[in-house]
Amino acid sequence: MIASMKETTMAVEWTITIEGKNEFGDICRKEVRFDKRWERLFDGDLGLSIEDGKKIMEALQNAVVNHEAETYSLYRRVCPDCHTFRAVKDCTTRRIRTVFCRLALKLENAVVSAGFGI
């Protein structure tokens, strides 16, 4: 029974979840899943490998940077005088290189009440 299982199934599946909540009440949840096959366990491969760590950190960094950028964009849309949301002027894609990965973020610029962009 175990001999047939080790060839077709995983021995262990890991799920790591990160969750962030901003001042506006938006929740960002990101899951990273990876598994270990029986062969890796039989070879003595216990714990996280460097590749597992890189995959985890890349996904977590992606989630954190995206959520923080979205929060910043929302914050910049709030009018400091009347505290309502201003109209979106444009949506610009910015490329960011972090220690763990490269990201392409779409940031919104708002129009101020006098008609000038931020």
Tokens representing 110?
Answer: 């708002």
Per-residue confidence band for 91, with pLDDT thresholds at 50, 70 and 90: low
Q: Quick check: 97 pLDDT over 80?
A: no
**94/56: higher pLDDT:** 56
Q: What pTM does this model have?
A: 0.60
User: How far is residue 34's CA from residue 14's CA, in Å, rounded to a whole number?
Assistant: 5
Per-residue confidence band for 68, with pLDDT thresholds at 50, 70 and 90: confident
Per-residue confidence band for 115, with pLDDT thresholds at 50, 70 and 90: very low
Q: Kindly report the average pLDDT of the chain as a whole number.
A: 76
Q: Per-residue pLDDT tens for 3-17?
A: 555 555 788 898 999
Residues in the chain: 118
User: How far is residue 82's CA from residue 84's CA, in Å, rounded to a whole number?
Assistant: 6
User: How far is residue 48's CA from residue 69's CA, in Å, rounded to a whole number?
Assistant: 30
**9/63: higher pLDDT:** 63
Average pLDDT over residues 41-51: 83
Whose CA is closest to 28, among 78, 90, 74, 77? Answer: 74
